[in-house]
Amino acid sequence: MATPRWRKSSYSNGNGGACVELAQWRKSSYSNGNGGECVELAVQPLLTAVRDSKNPEGGHLLFPAKAFGAFLTRLKTS
């Protein structure tokens, strides 16, 4: 399985110092302001990463993007 593509922070300099790489996480539209059952997604061309927005340092799950898309479509039509 491929690894997710990360984006280098715009604050990184050309010497490799002070670099931070970021996944572009997006909170679910079903998340509320009270911290209830929330997930965040980082969508890439080949992979979709999913993590718990209440515990972002707790790790993430990776799914092939095509399979995750099919999963979401199935949820919407069920």
Spans of all domains in the chain: 39-78
pLDDT of residue 31 exceeding 80, the answer is: no
Give the whole-angstrom CA distance, residue 8 versus residue 21: 4
pLDDT of residue 1 exceeding 50, the answer is: no
pLDDT of residue 43 exceeding 70, the answer is: yes
Name the percent of the chain lying above pLDDT 90.
Answer: 13
Q: Please, are residues 6 and 21 in contact by the beta-carbon 8 Å criterion?
A: yes
Question: Looking at per-residue confidence, does 55 or 77 come out higher?
Answer: 77
pLDDT of residue 16 exceeding 50, the answer is: yes
Q: Please, are residues 65 and 46 in contact by the beta-carbon 8 Å criterion?
A: yes
If you average pLDDT over residues 63-77, what whole number do you get? 91
